[in-house]
Amino acid sequence: MNLFDIAGQFSVMGNCLDVKPFGNGHINDTYAVTCASEGGVRRYILQKLNSRVFPHPTALMNNFEAVCAYLRPIVKSEGGDADRECLRIIPTVNGAAYYVDKQGEVWRMTQLIENTDAYLIAENRGMFEDAGRAFGLFIKRLEGFDASTLVEVIPDFHNTVKRYENLEKAVAEDKMSRAAGVSDLIEFARARKDKTGIIVQALEKGEIPLRVTHNDTKLNNVLIDTATKKAVCVIDLDTVMPGSLLYDFGDAIRVGCSTAEEDEKDLSKVHFDRENFVAFTRGFMRGLGDSITQKERELLPVGAILMTFECGMRFLTDYLEGDVYFKIAYPEHNLVRCRTQFKMVEELEKALPFMRETVQKVYTESK
């Protein structure tokens, strides 16, 4: 079955004229579908889910559908344009939320939000700040959604305690005989073992609320208006799961406040961008408004440290296991990634007083 046949399985308006690759995502296969009818030309996003990363497509699509259905009336009630500010599932001709082809591959379709773009790097701090606002608003709008009804499509995705246990298991098994060469990184992780449970335990004790969270808050998961350069819509909802807003804040800081790429070999280039931190924090908290609790505010800087540490541990674990999860371009790629993340952890730890002061200042100014 070709792409035109796949597109024809969905309730599009008009005749399908074109299907071509779209965007720069690395997980799912994404295409732009162009259709024409008497009402004019419309475009849609067609995606084939990556079954290796997401082996439970039904649960994923149930999450996706439920969150979108909840968000759209909220956006409308706030005077917004739901078709522009929220994804909408285009059903199949049989009324289903997704289509399964003869090979068992899962396909879905949403509207294509015109006159927007996704940026890997912010053009300026104003764009990064507004992306923060969009992610904060996403969480706020879902505050009344029962997070416990969502399925963890990737169980323990941000369970830092389990990530540490997986690392120790990889060290003990040492399948590739690589542990001896990375003893410094293993000791780095072990020295921070006691901190891995901070967010997990706060959730378990009810000290912070369980929320619907995005869990992949990179800049390119927010569509930016091409004219105004303002954030329009949070996309890539595959990892929407129950969690803590500390995960979303922390992961955004991990990526957006590093002065180097995730796999930079020269660690002297890896530093913490304080001005970017101020910008994102200001936007994120503006989006959240009064939804954020005092305990969550206190732990925001810790979230940044722990999400960076967790990512480093995941790279190190994968390196020790033989590079079975993350795609690599060369044999030491995961090792380089780990060292970059651990260097960023050190930078964030040094900046902890500054981060705490910034969070308090931003909160006070918003009152």
pTM exceeding 0.85: yes
Q: Which CATH number fits domain 125-366: 2.160.10.10, 3.90.1200.10, 3.30.420.40, 3.60.20.10?
A: 3.90.1200.10
**Class of the domain covering 3-113:** alpha beta
Q: Is the distance from CB of 160 to CB of 200 less than 8 angstroms?
A: yes
CA separation for the pair 236, 26 (Å, rounded): 11
CA separation for the pair 337, 334 (Å, rounded): 5
- DSSP β-bridge partners for residue 48: 29, 107
CA separation for the pair 303, 311 (Å, rounded): 12
Secondary structure of the chain as H, E, C letters: CCHHHHHCCECCCCEEEEEEECCCCCCCEEEEEEEEECCEEEEEEEEECCCCCCCCHHHHHHHHHHHHHHHHHHHHHCCCCHHHHCCCECCECCCCCCEECCCCCEEEEEECCCCEECCCCCCCHHHHHHHHHHHHHHHHHCCCCCHHHCCCCCCCCCCHHHHHHHHHHHHHHCCCCCHHHHHHHHHHHHCCHHHCCHHHHHHHCCCCCCEEECCCCCHHHEEEECCCCCEEEECCHHHCEEECHHHHHHHHHHHHCECCCCCCCCHHHCCECHHHHHHHHHHHHHHHHHHCCHHHHHHHHHHHHHHHHHHHHHHHHHHHHCCCCCCCCCCCHHHHHHHHHHHHHHHHHHCHHHHHHHHHHHHHHHC
**Phi and psi dihedrals of 323, rounded to 5?**
60, 60
Q: Is the distance from CB of 108 to CB of 89 less than 8 angstroms?
A: yes
Q: Is the distance from CB of 304 to CB of 356 less than 8 angstroms?
A: no
| The pairing of beta strand 106-111 with beta strand 116-117 | unpaired
- Using N-to-C axis directions, what is the helix angle for 294-321 and 245-256, rounded to 10°? 60
Residue with tokens 């931190």: 277
Residue with tokens 């098994």: 173
CA separation for the pair 41, 119 (Å, rounded): 25
Q: What is the pLDDT along the chain (367 residues), one digit of tens a residue?
A: 699 999 999 999 888 999 999 987 767 899 999 999 877 899 999 999 988 878 888 899 999 999 999 999 999 999 999 999 999 999 999 999 999 999 999 999 999 999 999 998 899 999 999 999 999 999 999 999 999 999 999 889 999 999 999 999 999 999 999 999 999 999 999 999 999 999 999 999 999 999 999 999 999 999 999 999 999 999 999 999 999 999 999 999 999 999 999 999 999 999 999 999 999 999 999 999 999 999 999 999 999 999 999 999 999 999 999 998 888 899 999 999 999 999 999 999 999 999 999 999 999 988 7
Q: How many CB atoms lie within 10 A of CB 273?
A: 17
Instruction: Name the token pair of 104.
Output: 């068992």
Give the side-chain half-sphere CA count within 13 A for 183: 2
Q: How many CB atoms lie within 10 A of CB 179?
A: 18
pLDDT of residue 51: 84
Instruction: Name the token pair of 304.
Output: 């940044």
Residue with tokens 């957006």: 256
Sign of CA dihedral 144, 196, 235, 343: positive
pLDDT of residue 57: 87
Domain spans in the chain, listed from the N-terminal domain onward:
3-113, 125-366
